[in-house]
Chain A
Amino acid sequence: MSLSSILTGLTTVIAPQCLLWLILGVMIGIIFGAIPGLTAATGVAVFTPITFGMDFAPAFGFLLGLYCGGYYGGSIPAILIHTPGAPGNVATALDGYPMARQGQAGRALSYSVTSSWLGGTFSSFCLLIFANIVARFALQFGSQEYFSVALIGLSCIVGVSGDSMLKGIISGCMGMLLACIGVDPMDGVLRYTFGVPAIMKGIATVPALVGLFALSEAFGKSETTTSAEKGITGKITGVMPHFKEYWENKILLLKSAVIGTIVGAIPGTGPTIAAWLSYSEAKRCSKKPEEFGNGSVEGIMACECSNNAVTGGAIIPMVTLGIPGDPVTAILLSALMIQGLTPGPTLITKNPDLISTILWILLIGNFVMLLFGLGGAKLFPKLLSIPPKILFPIVMVMCVVGSYAVNNSSFDMWISFGLGIFGYIMIKFGFPVAPMVLGIILGPIMEPNFRRALISSKMDYTTFFTRPLSCVFIILAFALTFIMYRRTHSKKD
């Protein structure tokens, strides 16, 4: 990559037209991310057709802006109303919401956007420097490795189960079972559909998330809210980021960013897994693990940093191999082809300016996101000053509409509703809902890959251990579980 092509990229991107589209993209992205039910993927999908007639730079400025903004936007409702806007922000809700309840919504939002910015920027540079290495590493992942990585993800259950690990395991199993509903991914057989066509497509992640987190919270609120209850007002402080705080957590941030970038580059995964892995890693090596779940700054940082680091990572296999790294890049891939560019190993060598344009778009896009986010950190907490008696009915409407709009499916609304009641009851009984979401997300990765690995190896169960990478992951998963368990339980004695 020569300096001149980097400069060419910069001049392309700071052209007013491109910059305008980029800013617009980030804004729309944040809105899409923030509305429960709508995600960055929905946003990019909906707006891709309008880039048909546009040049490359504005088109991708717009779409990549949407992408970055969307992954960050989900943390806003996660922090403010305990409703992750997208699956990747679930872990943020665990710590952000307690902070908001302590009247520190502004600070939490500021941590979230600054970490997002750091993660996004880091991964953009990775895209520039390590694209080929990361892509080659990501290709090492066969079915066995997918399974073992998901196993590491599963070990997070210990970290988010609170008092009772058994209850966490039960929730996790329920999630996995819910994920089994529908067409069996390997044999195409119907499972648990009971002859109803609508159930065939199974439990979609986003409606489940909306139900388990948002609706259950709203149902719970309906018990305690009184007509006299005022919104949370008070001064919004701590919005401006302090360099020192981030410097103190430099290792944490770096680790999260690396995890995010690599997970992003592995096809078929995405921000959710990245965020969970970083979250549990942050908890594992934290000096104050007991703060996690009660408003830990480190938790927010780790989760949001890796969540947005996924963006740059996911673009790596897209441009180098033509294989999307996460759901959004799958759509970006077709946008790339509409621009007349054929993704593949020769894409970069043939279009050296392309990658530097993408780099600048990501850098500037992330910066715009930071500005909006910090501005918003002053503004968004004002939402909480709306009295709950008005706020929560509106949240409920958004939940129902959002879960309908993901797939235009009324069945999805009923999923949300059903899981909302289920979540409401489970929370009362002290069952954490986060492991259930983890199960719903990891189930569709673990099961087919487990079975696929066995088919390809002619039913040889040792295949998970004879492949070095997979073996390392499995050992890591067990070690993590063990360490986390000891850390959580030794504190009490």
Chain B
Amino acid sequence: MKKRNILLGAAYAAFAIVGLIYTCSWTYTSTTGLNPSFWPNIMFTMLLLSAIAIIVFSVLGPDAEVSEDSRFHWKKSLPTIIWVGLYTYAFQRFGFLIPTMVFLCGEMFLFGEKRWKVLLLISILLPIILYFLFTKVFGIYLP
């Protein structure tokens, strides 16, 4: 736990420093009020201070075990994340219906649904129902 906190504290501190430097490079000056960089700078400063505090407290404080809940299981979650990313891209590129069908089918498979009848039924019917609901009933545009 100690290591993780220090790691993340350092990451945030680095981010805040980069942010501060970038924001300070803005040239725009307001004639009447505060500059647009004022507020982000306050936030970055607070971020930096809190991150440093986290590092300090973690170094000084006692170490705790990393609980089972907060371990990463990338092997399982990464395929899902990538699959959702692909879906988002496909949605943008090819519209709603077909990508959704493919996505649902694949994602349920990833989650462990192996009965192909269920897979096909849901991944074909649900997108059609949703499409109808959004475009016809709600009047919300979908590509």
Instruction: Report the separation of the CA atoms of residues A43 and B140 in the bound assembly, to the nearest whole angstrom.
Output: 10
Give the interface size bracket for B toward A.
Answer: 35 or more
Is B111 a contact partner of A451 (Cβ separation < 8 A)? no
* Other A-B pairs beyond A47-B139, A389-B112, A400-B84, 19, CB < 8 Å: A164-B54, A169-B46, A173-B46, A219-B80, A219-B81, A225-B111, A390-B111, A392-B107, A393-B103, A397-B127, A401-B100, A401-B130, A401-B142, A410-B91, A413-B91, A417-B85, A420-B81, A424-B81, A428-B71
Closest 8 pairs between A and B when the two form their complex, measured CB to CB: A227-B112, A389-B111, A393-B107, A222-B80, A455-B33, A410-B92, A223-B73, A184-B36
Give the interface size bracket for A toward B.
Answer: 35 or more
A215 within 8 A of partner (CB)? yes
Given A189-B28, A400-B84, A227 and B70 contact (CB-CB distance below 8 Å): no
Choose among A187, A218, A225, A227 the residue with the greatest number of B CB atoms under 10 Å from its CB. Answer: A187
Please indicate the chain B residues that have their CB under 8 angstroms from the CB of A192 in the complex.
40
Is A430 a contact partner of B70 (Cβ separation < 8 A)? yes
Of B47, B122, B130, the contact of A177 (CB 8 Å cutoff): B47
Is B84 a contact partner of A389 (Cβ separation < 8 A)? no
Query: Which residues A1-54 have CB closer than 8 A to chain B?
Result: 32, 38, 42-43, 46-47
Instruction: Report the separation of the CA atoms of residues A430 and B134 in the bound assembly, to the nearest whole angstrom.
Output: 37
Query: Which residues A283-316 have CB closer than 8 A to chain B?
Result: none
Is A393 a contact partner of B108 (Cβ separation < 8 A)? yes
Instruction: Report the separation of the CA atoms of residues A166 and B9 in the bound assembly, to the nearest whole angstrom.
Output: 10
Instruction: Report the separation of the CA atoms of residues A420 and B81 in the bound assembly, to the nearest whole angstrom.
Output: 9
Closest CB in chain A relative to B36 CB, distance in Å: 4
What does DSSP make chain A's interface, helix, strand, loop or mixed?
helix
Is B39 a contact partner of A397 (Cβ separation < 8 A)? no
Is A222 a contact partner of B76 (Cβ separation < 8 A)? yes
Query: Which residues A316-358 have CB closer than 8 A to chain B?
Result: none
Is A400 a contact partner of B91 (Cβ separation < 8 A)? yes
Of A394, A408, A413, A451, the contact of B88 (CB 8 Å cutoff): A413
Closest CB in chain A relative to B44 CB, distance in Å: 7
Instruction: Report the separation of the CA atoms of residues A401 and B127 in the bound assembly, to the nearest whole angstrom.
Output: 10
A388 within 8 A of partner (CB)? yes
Closest CB in chain B relative to A51 CB, distance in Å: 13
A128 within 8 A of partner (CB)? no
Please indicate the chain B residues that have their CB under 8 angstroms from the CB of A387 in the complex.
113
Is A424 a contact partner of B40 (Cβ separation < 8 A)? no
Query: Which residues A398-455 have CB closer than 8 A to chain B?
Result: 400-401, 404-405, 408, 410, 413-414, 417, 420-421, 424, 427-431, 447, 450-452, 454-455
What does DSSP make chain B's interface, helix, strand, loop or mixed?
helix
Of B54, B80, B108, B140, the contact of A170 (CB 8 Å cutoff): B54
Closest CB in chain B relative to A300 CB, distance in Å: 24
Instruction: Report the separation of the CA atoms of residues A47 and B35 in the bound assembly, to the nearest whole angstrom.
Output: 41
Q: B residues within 8 Å of A by Cβ? A: 4-5, 8, 12, 19, 26, 28, 30, 32-36, 38-40, 43-44, 46-47, 50-51, 53-54, 57, 70-73, 76-77, 79-81, 84-85, 87-88, 91-92, 96, 100, 103-104, 107-108, 110-114, 118, 122, 126-127, 130, 134, 138-142
User: Which residue of the partner chain B has the closest CB to A403?
Assistant: B88
Is B51 a contact partner of A170 (Cβ separation < 8 A)? yes
List 19 contacting pairs A-B, 8 Å CB cutoff, sorted by A: A43-B138, A164-B54, A170-B12, A170-B47, A176-B43, A177-B40, A177-B43, A186-B36, A227-B114, A400-B87, A401-B130, A405-B140, A408-B141, A413-B92, A417-B85, A429-B8, A429-B70, A431-B8, A451-B34
Instruction: Report the separation of the CA atoms of residues A177 and B16 in the bound assembly, to the nearest whole angstrom.
Output: 10
Given A219-B81, A393-B107, A451 and B38 contact (CB-CB distance below 8 Å): yes
Is B39 a contact partner of A451 (Cβ separation < 8 A)? yes
Closest CB in chain B relative to A421 CB, distance in Å: 6
Query: Which residues A127-180 have CB closer than 8 A to chain B?
Result: 164, 166-167, 169-170, 173-174, 176-177, 180
Instruction: Report the separation of the CA atoms of residues A74 and B140 in the bound assembly, to the nearest whole angstrom.
Output: 19
Choose among A167, A177, A427 the residue with the greatest number of B CB atoms under 10 Å from its CB. Answer: A177
Is A396 a contact partner of B113 (Cβ separation < 8 A)? no
A238 within 8 A of partner (CB)? no
Instruction: Report the separation of the CA atoms of residues A397 and B88 in the bound assembly, to the nearest whole angstrom.
Output: 10
Given A222-B110, A410-B91, A177 and B77 contact (CB-CB distance below 8 Å): no
